[in-house]
């Protein structure tokens, strides 16, 4: 096994995982992921590297896969799935436009990432930032007429991706999954370990 020293004096071993999994039980109990992978390998599982016991990693993989599907479907509209989601929320709240913080909270995204996602929409005239009449420091995110038109043009494309997912995964299972993921996304105790 080769060892590489990282910044701050941390040491990380460099090795190929298969020889380690096939080796003696010297590493059992050291890493639960490797122990589980070894157990699955012994049972003849074919998905050692694609499977993970980490729920965050599994959800990120699924999210990336679905982003590919939705981005592909939305391509003709010139929107990405993240931009479509923002326009969806703004269209829903058109009568009472959200502040940056409110929009960040509903999208479960930090404000700096939201700002990064809003810039192209603002540049293209799809949204506008309006100062609050009560507090000049607060800005409301407003969908423009051009933004509404682009959102409406993109909706049938989005529906195509929705239909594909429902078709592949199953409509009933998809509804259950949406409800579960929504509950996870907005559960306060899953934000941090400090409660």
For the chain, the structural domain boundaries read 2-42, 55-190
- Judge whether residue 74 has pLDDT over 70: yes
Span 128-152, pLDDT tens digits: 998 877 777 788 999 999 999 999 9
pLDDT at 52 over 90: no
Q: What are phi and psi of 2, to 5 degrees?
A: -90, 150
Residue 66's pLDDT is what?
Answer: 96
Beta strand segments in 62-192, E: 127-131, 139-143
Quick one: which of 74, 70, 76 has its CA closest to 162? Answer: 70
Q: Is 90 exceeded by the pLDDT of residue 33?
A: no
Do 85 and 79 form a contact (C-beta atoms < 8 A)? no
- What pLDDT was estimated at residue 50? 63
- Can you tell me the distance from the alpha carbon of 9 to that of 120, in angstroms, rounded to the nearest whole number? 41
Written as one string, the DSSP assignment of 24-52 is: -GGGTTT-HHHHHHHHHHHTT-S-TTT--
Minimum mean pLDDT range among 29-38, 97-106, 118-127, 137-146? 29-38
The correct answer on CATH 1.10.10.10 for the domain covering 55-190 is yes
């Amino acid at each position: 096994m080769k060892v590489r020293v990282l910044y701050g004096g941390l040491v990380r071993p460099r090795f190929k995982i298969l020889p380690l999994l096939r080796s003696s039980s010297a590493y059992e109990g050291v890493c639960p992921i490797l122990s589980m992978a070894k157990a699955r390998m012994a049972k003849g599982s074919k998905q050692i590297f694609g499977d993970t016991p980490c729920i965050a990693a599994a959800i990120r993989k699924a999210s990336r896969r679905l982003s590919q599907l939705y981005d592909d479907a939305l391509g003709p509209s010139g929107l990405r799935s993240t931009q479509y989601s923002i326009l969806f929320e703004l269209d829903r709240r058109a009568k009472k436009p959200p502040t940056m913080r409110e929009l960040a909270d509903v999208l479960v995204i930090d404000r700096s990432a939201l700002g990064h996602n809003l810039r192209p929409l603002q540049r293209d005239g799809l949204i506008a930032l309006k100062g609050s009449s009560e507090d000049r420091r607060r800005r409301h995110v407003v969908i423009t007429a051009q933004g509404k038109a682009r959102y409406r043009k993109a909706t049938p494309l989005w529906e195509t991706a929705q239909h594909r997912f429902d078709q592949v995964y199953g409509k009933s299972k998809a509804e259950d999954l949406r409800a579960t993921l929504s509950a996870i996304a907005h559960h306060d105790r899953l934000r941090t370990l400090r409660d």
